[in-house]
Amino acid sequence: MTGKPDLNARIIHEFRANKGGVGGGFSGAPLLLLHTVGTRSGRSRVNPMMYLADRGRFLVFASKASSDRNPDRYHNRLARPEARIEVGDAILAVRAVKLRGTERDTAFAEQARRYPGFAGYQSKTERVIPVIALIPLGEGAESTDQAERTPS
């Protein structure tokens, strides 16, 4: 049986080898690699995540496959909002901002429309799945066309 770390390692390797393209269950889906540092552990991690492009921002969803707990990376993003992402073959510095209210609801509804699995995740948990905007910072913020590929 393959564990999640092994699956993530394979996805990360394939992503980097193919400038952001991967096969399998993520084939054709917009994917980025989010670099995080554990708030308590201080350990660096890289997590593949689907995103929704929105006016130059990258919206990510703390679904944790419908768990009743938010993923650790969600808490890390709030505690340390500056991060790096890989999109295609670009590496961008970003700042994480939690979306709220109508903006959150609209973004989540669009992601669920495009990828119905997200609606399934929400239906299986009591918590409202958070949506985080990763906003590119500084020079190079527009260095990839991925952010503009899917307008909202």
Q: Can you give the pLDDT of all 152 residues of the chain as single tens digits?
A: 345 668 889 999 999 999 999 998 888 899 999 998 877 788 888 989 999 999 999 999 987 555 556 566 665 677 788 999 999 999 999 999 999 999 999 999 999 999 988 887 777 688 888 999 999 997 544 433 333 333 33
**Sheet holding 90-98: strands in order across?**
44-50, 31-37, 82-87, 90-98, 131-136, 57-61, 52-54
Alpha-helix runs per DSSP H in 1-152 = 4-17, 72-79, 101-114, 117-123, 146-149
* Domain extent listing, the chain: 4-149
CATH for the stretch 4-149 = 2.30.110.10
Provide the whole-model pTM. Answer: 0.80
